[in-house]
Amino acid sequence: MGLLDFFKRNKKSNTETVKTKKPSPEHILFADTILEVISPTVEQFGFTRHRTKIENHFTTIIFRKNKQYIKVNGSTYPTDYPYFYNIILGEGNDEEFLEWNLNSIALWRLKNKIDTTAKPKEYEFPFGDKVKFSVTNANNELLKYADTFLQGDLTLFYETRSEQNKSR
């Protein structure tokens, strides 16, 4: 699948900004799978694609609903080994790194809050045949652990974010 096929199959939303910078085949497949699996899920809750950025070693896809956002980012940058991806939940309008960092939490933090026996962490970046399985699992966890966030009830999100920011 070429880059043009990616954009033909995954039509850009009216509010979305798309940036590409020589994306690798791994990140094209990863982004395509995110848009195929996670996009329909979050769109059911009123989120729309805001930004898609695909590079050689990085992918970032952001969905927004008013001030809420869901950011999926993945890295295969050599110094980031082991390679990973995360689903980030946040609130706010500013897209500066510091602002995003203080106003967001990783899905795994909600998972840990809800299921204290789990050993949550970021997801291992998948390759080849593992991509669909991994992203489908992440989507299921998004529905399971971030259901209140998706529905607009930010109580658990605020509590978890506050605990995270206290430890910084």
16 pLDDT band (50/70/90 cuts)?
low
Global confidence as pTM: 0.86
Distance of CA 21 to CAs 6, 29, 78, 86, 123, Å? 14, 15, 17, 21, 23
Q: How confident is the model at residue 119 (pLDDT cuts 50, 70, 90)?
A: confident
The residues that bridge with 160 in the sheet, in sequence order, are: none
Q: What is the mean pLDDT of residues 95-124?
A: 85
Determine the Cα–Cα distance for residues 160 and 80; give it in Å rounded to an integer.
26
Task: Give the orientation angle of helix 107-114 with respect to helix 130-145, to 10 degrees.
Answer: 60
Tens of pLDDT, residues 53-82: 999 999 999 999 999 999 999 999 999 999
